[in-house]
Structure formats: C-alpha cells, structure tokens
Amino acid sequence: MDTGTAYGLPEPSYRAELTEVGRGTPCGEFLRRYWHPIGLAADAAGVPRPVRVLGEDLILFRDGKGRAGLVYPRCCHRGTTLYYGRIEAEGIRCCYHGWLFDVEGRCLDQPCEPDGGRHRGSARQPWYPVQERYGLIFAYLGPPEKKPVLPRYDILETRGPGEFIDADDTSIGSGGPALVPCNWLQHFENIMDPFHVPILHGSFSGVQFTAQMGLMPKVDFATTPRGTMTVQDRILPDGRIHHRITEAVFPTLRVVPNPRVAGYGTCEQIGWVLPIDDGNFRIYVAGRTTEKGTLGKGRSKYNGKWWWDLTEAEHQRFPGDYEAQVGQGRISFHSEEHLASSDKGIAMIRRLLKRQIDAVREGRDPIGVGFDPANDLVKLDAGNFLMDAPPAAASGD
Amino acid sequence: MDTGTAYGLPEPSYRAELTEVGRGTPCGEFLRRYWHPIGLAADAAGVPRPVRVLGEDLILFRDGKGRAGLVYPRCCHRGTTLYYGRIEAEGIRCCYHGWLFDVEGRCLDQPCEPDGGRHRGSARQPWYPVQERYGLIFAYLGPPEKKPVLPRYDILETRGPGEFIDADDTSIGSGGPALVPCNWLQHFENIMDPFHVPILHGSFSGVQFTAQMGLMPKVDFATTPRGTMTVQDRILPDGRIHHRITEAVFPTLRVVPNPRVAGYGTCEQIGWVLPIDDGNFRIYVAGRTTEKGTLGKGRSKYNGKWWWDLTEAEHQRFPGDYEAQVGQGRISFHSEEHLASSDKGIAMIRRLLKRQIDAVREGRDPIGVGFDPANDLVKLDAGNFLMDAPPAAASGD
Amino acid sequence: MDTGTAYGLPEPSYRAELTEVGRGTPCGEFLRRYWHPIGLAADAAGVPRPVRVLGEDLILFRDGKGRAGLVYPRCCHRGTTLYYGRIEAEGIRCCYHGWLFDVEGRCLDQPCEPDGGRHRGSARQPWYPVQERYGLIFAYLGPPEKKPVLPRYDILETRGPGEFIDADDTSIGSGGPALVPCNWLQHFENIMDPFHVPILHGSFSGVQFTAQMGLMPKVDFATTPRGTMTVQDRILPDGRIHHRITEAVFPTLRVVPNPRVAGYGTCEQIGWVLPIDDGNFRIYVAGRTTEKGTLGKGRSKYNGKWWWDLTEAEHQRFPGDYEAQVGQGRISFHSEEHLASSDKGIAMIRRLLKRQIDAVREGRDPIGVGFDPANDLVKLDAGNFLMDAPPAAASGD
C-alpha cells in the first residue's frame, strides 16, 4: 500500500506570533519598538506620498520649512485622504475643507470655521515621529513612552577617503524587484542560512556570485548582543581561509558583506528589511561608497540577465532568493517544515526572535533597544576577511 | 513625550445603519420604500441588459410590445442567467430550456414540457415593477404592499418655451466618471456641505465654477417636508445678493442649481444618486433643456481638462468631488470624524436619515412617500436667485 | 398588489454535498475514490508543471528515467515550491537547499547535510500515485487502502483498422475554452439533459449540430451499473429511428456520441470532467481516431465562428453550453430551481450521486470502483444507432 501520500496531510499552519506585523499582534508590537526606514530622504517632498509600513497606510511629506512629516492618511475632520492634500510652509492642508496640519498633526487652520477654528486646538491629525539619517527617513510607530534612540552604526560612521553614505530603495539583496510579495521573516531568517548559497546561487544558477562562494563552508552560528551571526570559513585553493561574517541585527537589519567578495574588509552596507504588511516587504540600504547611485552595482544576474528581463521559463530555470522565498508562499507554513542540522541558524534566529517578542509582551525591552542619546553607536562584526591557513586542524570543528 | 500619535488609534468603524443598502438592512429597507431610476429609457431594449441596484443584480429588457421588464437574473427553472435570454413579443426566453417569461415574471411557455408546460402557471420568475418617466426607467424594489406613487416634480413639469426633458446617465455632478466607487451617502450628504465649495472647488482647483461661488457664503440649513436644504447668501461686488437654495430630497435626490450660475431661476435638473451597492453609486439626471444631449455641458474641468484626461499627478494636484469623496474610502469611517460648526448640514441630514430609517423599522412610512395618484406632484425650492441688497444688517446672522 | 416580486426571495443556497470537491468534504471524498486524468502524457516532462486538481495544487514532472511523478508543491524541508525544482535522473531537486525526491516522494539527497543527509530516510515529500493510459496521466488522490484499479473501457480498447487512441486537453464538449469557471456538476449533470439540445443548440444558435438533433426526442432515462444513461429516439423523415444513447459514468465520465452524427456506431470518445476546484473544471478526452490531433474536429461553431473569436455581443446572442452552464453561476443555487418532468434525468443523476456520496461516508465503496486487476474492463452502451421503424406504435410510450 502507498505510504506518505498527500492524502493524509494535516491542515498547514504558520507561526503567526513570529510573522504578522499588524498593530496589536505580538510580532507587530515587537517591531514597533524600533525605528524603521520608510523612504529615501527625497521621498519626503512637496507632493504627498503614500507609504505602507507594518500594515499601516500613511502619508509622507515635507513641509515648506523642510520638516518631514508622516501622518495618518484620513483627515481627522471628515476622513478624506491627505494624498490629495496640499503642502504649505507649515504643513499639509486637506483638499476637502482645508484643515491644515503640521508635521506633528497639530491643526493650524480650519478655514470654513469662524476665526479659522476657535476649537482647532482640540483636533489632532494622528502622526508618527520621523528622523533622517544615512539618506533615509526613519519612523517610529510604537508606544511614545518607549521611543528609543535611533542607532548609529560604526561601519557607516567610519568612512575611508572619498567615501560617503548613499541610500537605495530598490531592495538590493532581495534577488528580485523592489517589492517582494512574501512575509519579511522569509527573507530575514535567510541571513542565517549560508548553506543555500552553494545550491541556489551555485548549482542552480551557475556561479552567481564568485566561484569561491560556491565552496561549502564550515559554519558557526552565534547570538550577539544585537541579534545573530554566522561565521563562515571557506578554504581557498591557495590554502588561505575566506573568513566571512554575516549578521542579522534585530529587528530587521541584514549586515551581509558583498557575496561577490570584490575586496576584503568590514561590511560596507546595511539593509533594513521593511515589513510592508504580513505578505510584502522591501529593503532599504545605506552604505559607504565613492560614487553616487552605485550601491546596487553588485546586483545579481541570472543567465546573464537582470531579473526583470527574464521570461517566466527563465525564472523557473534560474531561480534566486526571490523565487525561493516568494516560492515559500505568502507566509510559509512552519507546520510542514523539516529542519535539519544545516538549519541551525534558522532555528537560532527564530528562538531569539521569539524571546524578544515574549519580552515585549511581558513588559521588558527587546534586544538592541537603547534610550541613551550619548550611547547610540552600534559596533558590527560583519565582513569578508582573508586569513592565513591555521597551523593545524584547520577544517576541524 | 510625543502625544497624539497614530499608535493609539482605536479600530475605526462606520455607521452601517446609514450606509449599507442590501435587502434586509435598515438603510436598504428604507431605500426600498421609494422608486429609483435604474436606466435610461433606451437601456430597456431588445438585448438583455444587466443592472445592479441596491446590491441586487437584475436584467432589464423591453419586450416586443414595448413593455419594459426588470427580472431576477437566474431563470427560475435551472438558474441560467437571462442575460443570454432572447427577447420576444411577449417577454424574455431563457436560452437553456426555453422557458418564456413576461415582464411580470409569469411563465408563458415551457417548450421541453408536454403541451408547453401544463404546470407553467406555478412557475414565476422573480421581477420588480418599473415605470418610465422623464426619459428614465424607475423601479420599485420594496414590499409590494408599500409601493408608493412615482412622484412628479414641478421643476420638470413646468417648462419654458422650447424646453423638454432630457435624461443623462453619466453621473453629472459626481466630479468624475459614471461609476463612483464609494458609498452613496458620501455624495448625498455633500449636498448639505456648501463650505467645501470655496476650498475644494476654489482654493484647490482654481476657480472651478465661477468666481462668485468662491465667496464664503452665509448659510442656513433647514429640514423640509421632503428632506433638507441649504440657503446660501453670497454678497456680490455690486452689493446684490446671490441667494442659492440646494435641496437634498429623500431618499437620494440632489436638487442642486448650476454652480456655474449661468442664469438665475429655479433649478433645471434633478439628480438621483443610485446606490449600486454598499461601495458604488452612480447618478441619473433628468432636466429641462432646449437641446438634446447637452445636460452635462456644465461638467467640471480641472486644470482645463476633462476628468478622464488627467494624469494621476493631475488628479492629485487638482482634486474635485470625486477625489474628496472616494478619498474618504469605500465607506467613510464615521468613528474618526470631528464635525465642526460648518458641518451642521451634514449632522442635520444624517439625523433626518436616521429618523426615516427608524420609521421604516418601526412600521411607519418615511418622508416623502405618498400613495395618492392624484397627489403626486412635489414642489421644489432649489434655484439660484438674485436679490437686491437688504436695507440693513445684510450680512448679519 | 404585485405578486411574485423578487423582494420576497429567500437567501439562495446550493447543495454543497453534491458539488464541493475539497479534501474532507462529502463529494470530495467520493471523487477521491477514483482515478482522475490530470494531464496529457506529454505534460509530465523535464520542467515542473503546476496542476490543480480537486482543489489541491500539485507539481507534475517526469524523471530522467521516464517515470511520471505528482508531488505536493511545497518542499518538505523549508516549503519552497518545487515549481523551481530541477528534474534529474532520479527525481526532482528543490532549488533552495537541494533536497532530491523520487516520484514517490522519498528523499534521496540532502546536499547541505553531512553525508548527503544521514536522516534523509525520515523525510518524505507528499506525493500521489499516477498511471498512464490512453495518452493521459491518471492520478489517485484518495486513501491509499482504497486505491482501485484504473479501468479500461471497451470502446477505447476495441479499435478498427488504422485506429489508435489520441488524447486532448482542450475541453471538447465544454462549448467554450479549456478552463470553464463553474462547478463540475453543472456540466456533468447536463449529460442527462437531452431536452436542452433542440433549444440551446437549435432554436437559439441555429442548427448547431445537425438538423436531426433539433428534433424533440422521445427519451428514457435509466441507471446503469456504472452511472446513468439516456436513451433518445428521434423519428427521421424516412421513418427510421435515430437511437442515441449517452452515458454519465461515475464519477465524472461523459460518454456522449458525436452530436453531429457523422456516422452510426458506438461512441468513439470518453471525456473526463476534471473538477479543478469548486468553481472550475476542465475536460480531458481520449478517443479512437485515425489521424493525430483531430479529436476536436467536431467542436461547435457559433454564428460560423469559433467560440474564442466571438464578440461579447455574439456570446450573448449565440449562447452554448459554456454560457448556459457558467451562466448558472460558480455553483448553481439549487434552492431556486423548479425541476419539471423533462428534468427527470437531472433528478436521477443527482439521486445516484447522493447515494454514492452517502456510501463513501458510511464506509462502503461507491459505484464502479473495482479492485481486481484481472477485471478492469468496463463495457459501455453509448452510441448513435440507426434502427428501422418499429412495425407499430412507433412513437408511443
């Protein structure tokens, strides 16, 4: 008799507490304890711009005095969207009855009311605080009393000659287009999965990065004061060791050195995986560079083509991270997984994530959150490093 | 600490009892006590035409003897849609097994049955009564024992030299296309909101109507025996007064004089806001004219263009009623509103609507419903009028 | 007062137990006791092919040794779809971490694990058994202990000179395109409805088949050891009788002789109505022919055109089976039907279907299921036959 058929499959399910990002959900409240990038600095401008973050629709703008604002889209008067609002020196004005709000939602004018609104002080457009850094606009969507400092990162603060910080919103590292239609965790946990590289990016796609990334590495996984990391050693043909460290910094930062290994040294870029909602994410990147607009120059090709130029048959034949992760479904069914020893990093990052979510639920602060403006610098270890062969037992464990 | 952020926003909600139009809902049953236009006279023709009204899908046709019919789309025999039916002299015949129904749903033939169906008298295709007037087809979707007379309106019955009644189905007054994807009440209550005119149709769009409509009016709001009205006085540069009356006649009639004020006198048109379903409406208009097909000649332009020729950037820059009302969402969240003194008309029309809905629920007849065919004429007050300046205290209140 | 209006219509409903096909539903479990065609033999090839059957998404492929495989799409390791898998000699390999599965789901390799996965034997990709016959791939999606023999049919096993079996996946007999967006039963029960032919395929479409099919037949309905049948007699102008037998063989087989009556004899084709899900079906056909690719040569035309060349106005004017059945809705509302004497066949097939569904629910085997490989031949009666006029009382009943 046949065994193992799909007839007996139980209903699949996923771990909602690790994946869903809406307000009031366990993971959503955890994510809301951090600042998230929600646009390039240039996205806040004189025309209202709709953004979607953690399942919330919001309007981003920049008033005439240069202040960025992020507000709830429905005007607190009659609910018309501020997408049709007009940006003025002091704020954004609703098209319907002209209520004017500043970047913190205060109502400055109600032109259909006597005296511009004698009670306008009691109206408040819901808003969120924003800060600008590294060419990005960061927003804090959490409880006001828990607003942390916006961290600085040593690998972006310390720059070489001619280097500056550039920002990018094309989801470098997603393997596909800027908007990726699956849950953010499918991408984020992938940082802790170095073993897929020789398969997905080697055996399947041909040498997608460099030949040496196709070597099956010796890997250690570890937690850090800010998240998790992999330490990967690949023995090169000349006996030296390619020592590679990738970091998953909570809540969503990918600190992944260039897989093309153009040179050795500390990681040059940070990517923030922004959960748009439960079933979509995008990646904002800030990185050191000497030439504007070149952060994405190492973007992957497939069969010699850009992702967006592939036919469906080519996508099927040359899958990358986008196909593998979106191919897990909108939210992957964890109930059907069979984790193996090479999935140790996946299990580790999920455990750590679970602990942070529990911490928030229990009233504690999650990992990496700080409130001291004088102590806002985060030191990172990620990078590609070249080491001499150890004197003995190099590949032992 | 930040105050007023969107983090604390409660779940929004809307007043379903004022907005939802389906059979069995409070507002749906209220609306079903009136006749509603469901098409132009020419829409009832020799080819079955699907229409959607108050959330119900129906088929409109005209039999070979000229009688308009409105029937449930699923044939009462086996459920095939009568959209594929054939119009014959006596009615509509289903394509599948040929059952023939007259305009009142009676089954006249069952050709696959012996003798054309010995029991055909017991089959009845569900139908609704219709009447034609003013170039429109009106249908009554309510309880048969409550069917009122179809009203006549003085402003359409009394015509000047060369005038006749023309009809239009392009949603004149919507500010956009024929089908508007939001709840009907968002448009209907806007009739009682004269204050948005100088903002939305003046400050935002430039002078959209005429310069004098950009003046902030002195406004009185009132209930009438048939609904609500606004009485707007604008003091013209020469000291005379533009006295403007708009009426919201229940359940859905907009009696709004030309905002371009081409001339003074009684309102020339009536618009019926037809709820297609909870999230869509359209407007049928009948009006006095001397030239066929010109009712919509005063349609609004934006930035010198028709609505359908605007780019998305232009829609955002030059919003009109369509953008403001659709921008409130499918059904606007009333829980988030902050009504002010200039919203007195909005509050008034909602209160009156609520009372009518309660009346129907309690077994009474709602406003404006009559059963006496000899007493079917409704007198309206709406119009643009020019008045001399009052001797004193003209702009006082 | 108006009677019979749609105002009083109760909420419609359908018989879920006869129509819904998902795992665990009454009808779904009945259907899962049989083999169903899920593709042409050529569809199982070197590129993974998504198929949808009885509401289940699956991946069809053929390994390098020629064995067809049908597997659950989500890799049992981390859930990535095997749509992006690579076909190898021994099976299909997932793109993400390279797990390799054979056609029965056994895991043959886990390349990221030590020694190719020491515990790979405990991983099993969910799969379904398939068999190939008549140019089609048949799958069994039911409980393994109930897997029946795949039947042979005499009309396909017994071939004339030069005849062979060809297969087709274009839904011959649907009246429209390959994918039909309504419930499978709407098509299957139509086999027992000969009376619609003179109406839908005669009076409405003009002579769609042949003139003689437009004659209203004398019909007997009967159950058979394998399903139901119609026996239709049409008296031809020369007094002879066109004796036509159509069969609905459970669970989904249409054994319907050519309605164009190109010749007389046993039916040449079998069509399997494959429920894709509750709201979609397609038809696979296998039949005797002497020329490859000509099974569909008798496909219906409308107004002289192929279905896919019709304008919407022509679809409305010249409806066929597709329009009539899709026009009943996604799943027709049985609560609104009025069956008449000419619907005797419809009532009969539903009763027989209900009994089989009940049988499965009560632990018995449904009609036509056999477990003896030596006894796998099914004899069919369907065909167009020409008979001499009976000596007396020819058209009596």
Q: What is the mean pLDDT of chain C?
A: 94
> pLDDT confidence of B1, banded at 50, 70, 90?
very high
Eight-class DSSP state of B217: P
> Distance between CA atoms of A381 and A222, rounded to whole angstroms?
12
Beta strand B35-40 pairing with A253-255: unpaired
Q: pLDDT at position B201, please? A: 86
Reference A174, options A48, A308, A273; nearest CA is: A273
Name the residue facing A96 among B200, B316, B338 (closest C-beta). B200
Q: Do A81 and B332 touch (CB under 8 A)?
A: no
Q: What is the mean pLDDT of residues A350-359?
A: 98
How is residue A298 annotated by DSSP? G
Contacts of C329 in chain B (CB under 8 A): 74, 79, 81
Chain A hits for C110, CB-CB cut-off 8 Å, are 340, 342
Structure confidence at residue A396 (pLDDT): 40
Question: Contacts of residue C217 in chain B, CB cutoff 8 Å?
Answer: none
**Residue A312: enclosing H or E segment and its boundaries?**
helix A312-317
Order across the sheet with A49-53: list the strands: A49-53, A56-62, A68-71, A127-128
What integer pLDDT is reported at residue A363 of this predicted model?
Answer: 97
3-state secondary structure of B49: strand
Indicate the range of A296-300, A341-345, C293-297, C338-342 predicted with least confidence: A296-300
What proportion of chain A, given as a percentage, has pLDDT over 90? Answer: 87
- What's the Rg (C-alpha) of chain C? 23
- Distance, in Å, from the CA atom of C6 to the CA atom of A164, rounded to the nearest integer, reads 71
Tens of pLDDT along A49-81? 999 999 999 999 999 999 999 999 999 999 999
- List all chains that touch chain C, counting a touch as 3 or more CB pairs closer than 8 Å: A, B
Q: Do C328 and B81 touch (CB under 8 A)?
A: yes
Identify the closest residue of chain C to A196 by CA–CA distance. C97
Residue that is written with structure tokens 């907005």 in the block: B19
In this predicted structure, the answer to whether residue C263 has a pLDDT above a threshold of 90 is no
Question: What is the arithmetic mean of pLDDT over B305-322?
Answer: 94
pLDDT at A392 over 70: no
Confidence at C203, pLDDT banded by 50, 70, 90? confident
Nearest beta carbon to residue A112 from set B3, B199, B332: B199
| Alpha-carbon gap, residue B252 to B167, rounded angstroms | 17
For residue A328, what are the CA distances in angstroms to A11, A343, C53, C84?
16, 16, 20, 11
Smallest Cβ distance to B79: which of C5, C198, C328?
Answer: C328
Band (C207; pLDDT cuts 50, 70, 90): low
> What pLDDT score does C390 carry?
72
Over range B230-239, report the average pLDDT.
93
Binned at pLDDT 50, 70 and 90, residue B392 comes out as low
pLDDT in tens, B137-173: 999 999 999 999 999 999 999 999 999 999 999 999 9
Tens of pLDDT, residues C41-60? 999 999 999 999 999 999 99
Min Cα distance A275 → chain B (Å) is 17
Q: Do B336 and A95 touch (CB under 8 A)?
A: no
Any chains having at least 3 CB pairs less than 8 A from chain B are A, C
Report, as an integer, the average pLDDT of B241-269.
93
DSSP state of B293: T
Q: Would you give the DSSP letter of residue B248?
A: E
Neighbouring CB atoms inside 10 A of A279's CB total: 19
Strands C56-62 and C68-71, sheet pairing: antiparallel
Bond before C391 cis per omega within 30 degrees: no
Chain A residues in contact with B332 (beta carbon < 8 A): 78-79
Q: Is the pLDDT of residue A198 over 90?
A: no
Average confidence (pLDDT) over B91-108: 98
Beta bridge partners of C92: C87, C101
Q: What is the pLDDT of residue B205?
A: 72
Q: Is the pLDDT of residue C87 over 90?
A: yes
Return the pLDDT at C396: 40
Confidence of residue C318 (pLDDT cuts 50, 70, 90): very high
- Measured CA to CA, the distance from residue C89 to residue C42 in angstroms comes to 17
- Separation CA B305–CA B314 (nearest Å): 10
Residue whose pair of structure tokens reads 């097939």 in the numeric block = C349
Chain-centroid distance of CA C310 in Å reads 25
Q: Would you state the pLDDT for residue C391?
A: 65
Q: Residue B64's pLDDT is what?
A: 98
pLDDT tens by residue, A270-285: 999 999 999 999 999 9
Out of B359-373, C183-197, C255-269, least confident range: C255-269
Nearest Cα residue to C337 out of A274, A370, B97, A94: B97
Higher-scoring residue by pLDDT: A16, B297: A16
- Quickly list H helices, chain B: 16-19, 26-31, 154-157, 184-188, 196-198, 312-317, 321-326, 344-361
Predicted TM-score of the model (pTM)? 0.95
pLDDT at B384: 94
Q: Does the distance separating the beta carbons of C124 and A6 come in below 8 Å?
A: no
Q: Across residues A348-353, what is the average pLDDT?
A: 98
Which residues make Cβ contacts (< 8 Å) with residue B24, sequence separation at least 6?
none
B307 DSSP 8-state letter: G
pLDDT (mean) for C119-133: 97
Contact B58, B50 (CB under 8 A): yes
**Length reported for chain A:** 397
Chain A nearest C-alpha distance from C136 (Å): 21
Cβ atoms of C80 and C93 within 8 Å: the answer is no
Interchain pair A340, C72: CB under 8 A? no
A392: tokens are 């003995």
Give the pLDDT band of residue B207 (cuts 50, 70, 90). low
pLDDT of residue B229: 97
CA angle C368, C373, C375 (to 5 degrees): 60
pLDDT band at C216 (very low <50, low <70, confident <90, very high): confident
The pLDDT value recorded for residue C397 is 41
Instruction: Give the integer Cα–Cα distance in Å for B93 and B125.
Output: 11
| Chain A contact set for B342 (CB, 8 A) | 97, 112-113
A53 and A184 Cβ atoms separated by less than 8 Å: no
Average pLDDT over residues A17-31: 98
Distance in angstroms (rounded) separating the CA atoms of residues C183 and C19: 7
Q: What is the mean pLDDT of chain A?
A: 94
pLDDT digit string (tens) for C4-44? Answer: 999 999 999 999 999 999 999 999 999 999 999 999 999 99
Residue B396 has pLDDT above 60, yes or no: no
Render pLDDT for A232-275 as a digit per residue (tens, 0 to 9).
999 999 999 999 999 999 999 999 998 887 789 999 999 999 99
Q: What's the gap between Cα B381 and its chain centre?
A: 18
Q: Buried (b) or exposed (e) across C206-217, using 16+ Cβ within 10 A?
A: eebbeebbbbbb
B54: nearest CA in chain C? Answer: C7
* Cβ–Cβ < 8 Å for B228, B349: yes
CA distances from C303 to A119, B88, C189, C213, C260 (A): 70, 20, 26, 17, 16
**What is the average pLDDT score of chain B?**
94
| Three-class HEC string of chain C | CCCCEHHHCCCCCCCHHHHCCCCCCHHHHHHCCCEEEEEEHHHCCCCCEEEEECCEEEEEEECCCCCEEEECCECCCCCCEHHHCEECCCCEECCCCCCEECCCCEEEECCCCHHHCCCHHHCECCEECEEEECCEEEEECCCHHHCCCCCEEHHHHCCCCCCEEEEECCCCCCCCCCCECCCHHHHHHHHHCCCHHHHHHHHHCCCCCCHHHHCCCEEEEEEECCEEEEEEEEECCCCCEEEEEEEEECCCEEECCCCCCCCCEECCEEEEEEEEECCEEEEEEEEEECCCCCHHHHCCCECCECHHHCCHHHHHHCCCHHHHHHCCCCCCCHHHCCCCHHHHHHHHHHHHHHHHHHHHHCCCCCCCCCCCHHHCEECCCCEEEEECCCCCCCCCC
Q: What is the pLDDT of residue B397?
A: 40
Whether A92 shows a pLDDT value over 60: the answer reads: yes
